[in-house]
Each structure stands twice: as structure tokens, then as C-alpha cells.
Amino acid sequence: MSKIEVGIIMGSQSDWPTMREAASILDELGVTHEARIVSAHRTPDRLWDYGRSAAERGLKVIIAGAGGAAHLPGMMASKTRVPVIGVPVQTKALSGVDSLYSIVQMPKGYPVATMAIGAAGAANAGLMAAAILSLSDAALAARLDAWRAALSASIPETPADD
Ligand code: RP5
């Protein structure tokens, strides 16, 4: 079995409909990944164990999604040098602005690469992870180039009437 390169973690089962956008992009691009529920508040020991073992397990990128008081991406970045991409999950109460603010404003020393709120952010997290891995994987770089070219080709030049 090939080694898992990307860890997708999220604070709750309720984050999965958003975070599976990242998983689906990684599937399309043939990047090995795993998905785990790891809550900063409800399962702090699981967070610690995941962060402590991430590098030695060979993970190259971690995508971390959370909503509300979204401390998971930042805490994970504090625990491992594996690059962390943060996805602010959209919330009902504050539309995900709370999640964004909780993730984006990290103190100097422990960066989190923060994406847009919601599904687009999760998909872009998958693409960003693939771009990072492409730096040392020519076959993946070619697949990512083809994915990007196909997206461009799918955009019509002129708008259509309904
Ligand atoms: C956060 O609280 C999770 O990341 C989730 O976005 C939010 C709500 O969680 P649930 O109450 O739906 O489990 O920790």
C-alpha cells in the first residue's frame, strides 16, 4: 500500500460535507490521503498524538478544517512542522467569519495557510496540497497542469442566455 501523503482532519463529523471537497480533489489527482475527526476541544489528546506522529508517519501536508472557535489548524501547526492548510468551515451563527478569524491570525512562528470559507476553500486546500507535492513529483505536476487546463477550457468565452 502506498504511503499516505496528505492528512485531512476536521473538528467534527459536521465538517465532512465541506472537507470532502478536499478529499475529492485529491482523489481526482491521485494523491494518497486519509480523513480523521480530530477536535481541538473534544479530543485534545487525539490532536496531540496526530501532530506528534505526523512527520515520522511521512505526512507531507495536513489540511485542517474547523468551524466556530476553530482552533484545530493553529494548534496542529504548533505541534508539527508539517505544513498546515486551514479551512474555515461555514457556521450558521456567524457565516464562517468566526472560523476565518480563528484560523487566519496566527502569531509569528506558527503559520497556517488559510483558505476561503467553505467548500471552495476546502477544494482549494486540496489543490494547494497537490501543488506543494508537485514540487517533488513530476507525474503529479503533469496531472495538476492537466486539471488546471481542463478547468480553463471549460469556461465559455461568451455568456449564454438562460
Ligand atoms: C467545531 O465546532 C467543528 O469544527 C464544527 O465546525 C463546529 C460544530 O461542531 P458540531 O457541534 O457540529 O459537532 O469544533
Which segments of the chain are extended strands (E)? 6-10, 33-37, 61-67, 84-89, 113-114
Question: Cα–Cα distance between 94 and 15 in angstroms, integer?
Answer: 15
Question: Hey, what CATH class is 6-153 in?
Answer: alpha beta
Residue 2 C-alpha from the chain's centroid: 20
Report residue 162's pLDDT band, with 50, 70 and 90 as the boundaries: confident
Residue 98, marked binder: no
Q: Where are the domains of the chain?
A: 6-153
The predicted structure's pLDDT at residue 1:
52
Tell me if 39 CB under 6 Å of ligand 1.
yes
Among protein residues, the one whose CA lies closest to atom 3 of ligand 1 = 11
Average pLDDT, the chain: 97
Instruction: Look at the block and give the residue holding cell 505526523.
Output: 54
Per the DSSP assignment, residues forming a β-bridge with 12 are none
Report residue 117's pLDDT band, with 50, 70 and 90 as the boundaries: very high
The predicted structure's pLDDT at residue 67:
98
Section 78-88 average pLDDT: 98
The predicted structure's pLDDT at residue 114:
98
Grouping H, G, I as helix, E, B as strand and the rest as coil, residue 140 is helix
Calculate ∠ Cα 30-33-35, nearest 5°: 140
- Cβ atoms of 65 and 41 closer than 8 Å: no
Section 144-159 average pLDDT: 98
Tell me if 32 CB under 6 Å of ligand 1.
no
Among protein residues, the one whose CA lies closest to atom 9 of ligand 1 = 12
Residue 15, marked binder: yes
Section 19-48 average pLDDT: 98
Tell me if 118 CB under 6 Å of ligand 1.
no
Instruction: Look at the block and give the residue holding cell 496531540.
Output: 48
The predicted structure's pLDDT at residue 13:
98
